Amino acid sequence: MSLTDTAIRRAVAKKKPYKLYDTGGLFLLVTPSGGKWWRFKYRFAGKEKLLSLGTYPDISLKKARDRRDQERRKLADRVDPAVNRKAVKAAWVDSQANSFEVVAREWIAKQSSIWAPTNTKKVTRYLELNLFPWLGTRPIADILAPELLAVLRRMETRGAVYTAHTVLQTCGQIFRYAIATGRAMRDPASDLRGALKPVKGGHYAAVTEPKAIGVLLRTLDDYQGSVIVRCALRLASLVFVRPGELRKAEWKEIDFDSATWNIPAVRMKMKEPHIVPLSRQALDILKELQPLSGRSNYLFPSPRGNKKPMSDNTILGALRRMGIPKEEMTGHGFRAMARTVLDEVLHVRPDYIEHQLAHAVRDPNGRAYNRTAHLPERRKMMQDWADYLDRLRG
């Protein structure tokens, strides 16, 4: 007689386990603790065997019968369900041991012995953000070129074309490592040469994708060189002035009381004086810097003497030593980063941004605005920007 849902619900625990039989070898085992386990009894090669099909009520009577029927079809094909299950599980375990993420992290661990810590962190973060969510669990030997291209297209779509090229290059190295260690037969990344959009030239390289900005900021925070240079790197992202304006900044231009930096016209590209409102974060950096360079005229003096500012290659050199390539970020790129994100993510009025970038902005009558134009709004924008960078950093 077949089981019913009512009979299953009414079944109560007893001192000893007992069985409620259905048809075709299916039965429900009721344990003294009250558990209800589906079992499938069958014979293969003259031996009686049992196979677990799950527990009730997670597996309903209908689902249990469907699973029983699946296993009976295997028996009809002379396949032992228990052996088949073990083989499927072993194949899954093997695929997980050779998944793209497992092989990639193994490759990173090998490379980290010769990489700078910041570079290891950067490459890991690129993969965690852009590849692992979609390809991480896939067996590396099964990944095909179109599948990899689809993931890279996501980066292209959000404008991170250079990052897509960088990630593709990294994938090629990972696949070649998989081939060398016997876990893949070929490198699908090599099939994608020319498939991505070319990286546009003619502009200063800049990181503009929010998650990538967070990686960049954490990399800058980990800079292991001079504290003065580290302060310059951190301040560059907060004030986004031109590199020459930053490295030649003088202490007499900083007004801590009003939280402003007054840059004289002689140092500005447009030959107009410029005001930079200073966020709380920028002031904290300046207070950290003052005991180190306060005796010099310059915030960032040359290591060769306090009478000259740092060279124009100092920031670039620091970025390169941290493993940040010139195609990804330059000293001037902090301006492009701020301009893009303030407009597209924080939705700040474009004229406020242009004023703060010290670009030529004119009123409806064609006259240039003075340096104090929209100063309260710009001050709020600069604080919002600093707070936003803190969130990305975290």
Catalytic (active-site) positions: 242, 269, 332, 335, 359, 369
How many C-beta atoms surround the C-beta of residue 382 within 10 A? 25
Runs of H (alpha helix) within the chain: 5-10, 61-76, 81-97, 100-111, 117-130, 132-135, 145-157, 161-180, 210-221, 227-239, 243-247, 280-293, 314-321, 333-344, 350-356, 375-393
**32-52 burial string, b = 16+ CB within 10 Å, else e?**
eeeebbbbbebeeeeeeeebe
Residue 357 and residue 147: Cα distance in Å, rounded? Answer: 41
**150-167 burial string, b = 16+ CB within 10 Å, else e?**
ebbeebeeeebbbbbbbb
Residue 372 and residue 231: Cα distance in Å, rounded? Answer: 27
Contact 333, 206 (CB under 8 A): yes
Cross-strand pairs, 262: 275
Q: State whether residue 378 is helix, strand or coil.
A: helix
367: DSSP letter: P
CA–CA distances in Å: residue 78 to residues 68, 94, 308: 15, 25, 86
Q: Cis ω on the peptide bond leading into residue 303 (within 30° of 0)?
A: no
Contact 40, 71 (CB under 8 A): yes
Beta-strand relationship, 18-21 and 26-30: antiparallel
Compute, in degrees rounded to 10, the torsion defined by CA atoms 132, 133, 138, 141: -40
Residue 389 and residue 217: Cα distance in Å, rounded? Answer: 8
Residue 356 and residue 381: Cα distance in Å, rounded? Answer: 9
